A and B are shown apart, each in its own frame.
Chain A
Amino acid sequence: MVNQWAFYVNSDACSGCKTCQVACKDKNELAAGVHWRKVTEVTGGSWEKKNGLWVSTVAAYHLSMACCHCLEPVCAVSCSTKSIWKREDGIVFIDGSRCTRCRRCETVCPYGAIRYDPVSTYMTKCDFCVDDLALGLAPACVAACPNRALDFGDFEVLKKKYGPSNSVFPLPDPAEFKPALVLKPHRHAEFIGTHHPEIGNWAEI
């Protein structure tokens, strides 16, 4: 019995290829613009002219992120019609039939994980591929990753296997939102985090 399903994201191995994002869209029939999983590009470092040469300290990493199925989901708290709830297996779930499209959940989610779906006309997000889980299969994104940078499992088991939750720019402190996420930061994450970190692909996320 899984108490809390969780994702593992190895940002050090992620190339930002977005295969996970499209595998998710293919499985869930999501329109362009509706990202249940999305890949954020983070750049840091800078260019400086030294002795007449442009010298770079530029580095970058990518974060493949979906709903973190938080232990204490602020989206669920924010939902006045209780359309969002947390299942016994930890998956945070939206029942679209009860959604009033107030979009409050979208604004409170610190991960940008909840998206309005213009086709179904309600709020949607990652459901951890519950139907595939029931068959003993991996979520579509995890099974897709050409870099084997994603994994999934029980949160406690994942933490033992890969280490703590961690946080890197631009994610909030995990103590604050308690995401069911185990993250391996990129090898340059600390440098980037302290050298003008910026999101490089706003328009794509």
Chain B
Amino acid sequence: MDKTSLSRRCFLKWSALLGTSAITIPALGDWIDPSGPLGEPPPVGTTSAAVSSSQDAAFRVIRAGCPSHNCGGRCLLRITVQDGKILRIETDDRPGDTIADPQLRACIRGRAYRKRQYHPDRLQYPLKRTGRRGEGKFERVSWDEALEKMAAELRRVKTVHGNSALFIPYGTGSYSQTNGRQTAQRLLNLFGGSLGSYNNYSWACMANATSTVYGTNVTGNQRQDWVHAKIILMWGWNPAEMRDGTNTEFFLRKARENGARLICLDPRHTLSAASLADEWIPIRPGTDAAMMSAMAYVMIKEGLIDKAFVKTHCLGFDETQMPTGTKGAESYQDYILGTRDRKPKTPEWAEAITGIPRDTIARIAREYATQKPGVLYQGYGMQRRAYGEQVVRAGCVLAAITGNVGLPGGWAGGMGLQAPDGGPVWNVFPTGPNPVKTSIPTFLWTEAVLRGKEMGPEQGVRGADKLDNNIKLIYAVASNILVNQHADINRTVRMLRDESLVEFIAVQDNFLTPSARFADLVLPACTQFETWGVADGWKYGDEVFLNPPIVDPPFETKSDYRICAEIAERLGFGPAYTEGRTERDWVDWSLDQFRKTRFSGLPTLAEMEKQNQGVFTNPVTAPAVALGDFRRDPEKFPLSTPSGKIEIFSPALQALNKPETVPAVPKYIQEWESPFGPEAKTYPLQALGHHTLARVHSTMEKVDWLEEAFPQRLFINPVDAAARGLQNADSARVFNARGEMIIPCRITPRIRPGVVAVPQGAWWAPDEKGIDHGGSINVLTSSRWTPLAFGNAQHTIMVEVKKA
């Protein structure tokens, strides 16, 4: 087909969308209207900033940080306000836009924020439950009644059960010091404490496993260094959709322009794959460690290992460097070559598991081992899976045996916090010490509700041999973990409906989220546009953002800090909570803390206000390299692993004596729900809950500008759709033994056959039968945790899809 007819066909097709089937091109004629007001158009849209500023005193343009959610970026906004209302949101326009100090341009979510800010569903008043728990029936109460109820329940549960029965669940809806769960943590710590928690829902395996190899999670170079890389393996990494640092795409593109080859390994052909990658490798979910093992096999067999580096810097690669006291144990090379299990981890072996042709696996192994220096960047999705610790360790080992550790243009793999100091500080708001010294892995909070008193170290309990309480009171602030974001929603809500288990639930948020529907008391928080706040950069950011109040809190909403301060007042320790400080005073105080850590040149609050820049940046002109000292002199600068070396073989993991689930060298382990297991007969499709630009996890739900841009859909390959008689946009039932949803499907070749995806975070919307119509992936996910990190494995699920 020639180009002209192709374009004509497309043109007709595009026009067909607009409701016409035949196009006639009018003759060109007198289309310049002499009577038209040439050059003097009527005003269109919002009046421009500078035009009005000279005319209207109530008009302001404020530069501020984009509200701090758990989005993976921190960006700058320019907010136009008139008469107490936000008219327009723009972004960073600082001149220069250099690689050392690029503009911090906001993404689609920041630019759509007015629609969240002025959403008709925003909570306005405190609410008290009137129906059964979870039924969603509430009545308005006064702040006085709400605060009194909150204080009374805290006192009652403390008296009856003790402080360890109080719990503040994980929540990432606000991160601006004076808004967010830390404000409640300070409250309860002053009240005698609450059950602690560690880990998060993002990177539990990453954080726990990277350190078993390197003794640190600071394994990343500053991003400006990527221009030195010759190859970048974006392994399960999708910064275009989950950001992972403002400008991460910008730096990757600079690397491309500098000649790096970028390869994207992902079951989805992501926006990152489209915009950044030279090649897409559609690997089967949960099998990354198998491909990594086969790459190691090729490197060993073809002599591509950096033997000198392995000899001086690593432990347990082969039998010549096994740690003392582990004689006879299987080395990494033993595992790869199949010395013990008689299963060499060949590309052929991995092909059957990963679905990637053996030649491709071998080629990528050769490219990564010879095109040095290179980056193997591991996304976090692949570790929110069964045995997620293994893939983290396997990636670190590939970086180590190719000698890519501690080099400009290299990357040590794993967690990848940035050199030299691990990056941002995030929360400086002082929560104070928690008098309750026991803590649980955050993902196991439902276990602590159901059987806390039976939980001990085997369930990840720290600080005690057994918990002395089940969780009896939950105070969720900026958290939708109670229902929507935790695994296995149907299980969780059965538990929450039983008022004999958790006796009192308070949820404090901007909206009546699915979690808030299960509250006994709903406390309306204001947004970050309505109070003072401050935040520093994301994982790789080198900035401090000021978040001054842009507009007043509407209705009866208040900042999280203010609400907690008023509860503290009722509990009798108001002054201890506030120390006499307002939100603005705490921002001032927080800026001092930031100044003491990474931002020595940070201006004072008064100066920042006056300058109206919204941000202070540390330009990166000489990007730091992680583990550089260790590379240069491993004797003088040993790692903080027990051996001081890169522990390919971990004696500490061996000592756990769980070789099947936590082996001492990284292995591929078949997942507990797998296309290779018996469950695949009933539920043959793997389901992923990827990040979408339509939301930040469950924040920004119901913003129409975002919903229309990235509608909530089941993404399914044409092969799988055809096998089920599905047409594009058909309603599809997605189900397994744990739950069911009905949502429209999007048939797309941009996902591997055998895999479907439903972006995580959409709000659970059950019908009377309990079938979800909101597209909330957590009706399908499992609450089973990973063996070492006690992390969430929410991406390891099998489902079936049928036409609804």
Query: Chain A residues in contact with chain B, CB under 8 A?
Result: 12-19, 21-23, 25-30, 32-33, 39, 43, 45-47, 50-51, 53-56, 58-62, 72-74, 76-78, 82, 84-89, 91, 93, 95-97, 106-112, 127, 130-132, 135, 137, 140, 143-148, 167, 169-173, 176, 186-187, 193, 197, 199-200, 202-205
Contact = CB atoms under 8 A, between A and B. Distances in A.
Interface stretch (B326-334, B512-520, B701-709): B701-709
Interface stretch (B9-17, B169-177, B429-437, B486-494): B9-17
B555 interface: no
Contact of A112 (B8, B18, B282): B18
B240 A15 contact: yes
B155 to A, nearest CB: 47
Given A15-B272, A54-B719, A72 B31 contact: yes
27 contacts: A13-B253, A15-B275, A17-B107, A18-B709, A19-B111, A21-B709, A22-B111, A32-B705, A39-B709, A47-B749, A53-B356, A54-B282, A54-B752, A77-B29, A85-B33, A87-B38, A107-B23, A109-B18, A110-B15, A130-B44, A131-B48, A131-B51, A132-B48, A147-B250, A172-B7, A172-B10, A205-B17
B20 interface: yes
Could you say which of A25, A62, A78 has the most chain B C-beta atoms within 10 Å of its C-beta? A25
Nearest to A89: B39
A60 B106 contact: no
B351 interface: yes
Contacts of A78: 26
B93 A143 contact: yes
Nearest to B357: A53
A204 B709 contact: yes
A144 B709 CA distance: 16
A77 B27 contact: yes
Contacts of A107: 15, 18-20, 23
B43 interface: yes
Given A19-B111, A78-B26, A110-B11, 13 more contacts: A16-B275, A17-B108, A23-B111, A26-B89, A26-B705, A33-B708, A43-B748, A47-B717, A60-B269, A77-B28, A112-B15, A130-B44, A197-B10
Nearest first, the 4 closest Cβ-Cβ pairs linking A and B are: A170-B10, A28-B45, A76-B31, A15-B275
A17 B694 CA distance: 10
Contacts, number: 246
Given A29-B45, A54-B753, A147-B275, A173 B31 contact: no
A102 B46 CA distance: 26
Contacts of B652: none
A1 B710 CA distance: 40
Given A28-B45, A110-B14, A169-B10, A60 B274 contact: yes
B44 A28 contact: yes
A131 B709 contact: no
B560 to A, nearest CB: 27
Contacts of B19: 106-107
Contact of A32 (B26, B47, B708, B717): B708
A111 B704 CA distance: 24
B750 A202 contact: no
B26 A16 contact: no
A53 B60 CA distance: 60
B711 interface: yes
Interface string B350-369: 01000111000000000000
Contacts of B723: none
B91 A143 contact: yes
Contacts of A82: 33, 35-36
A137 B61 CA distance: 15
A193 B6 contact: yes
B681 interface: no
A94 to B, nearest CB: 9
Contacts of B355: 53-54
B680 interface: no
Contacts of B718: 47
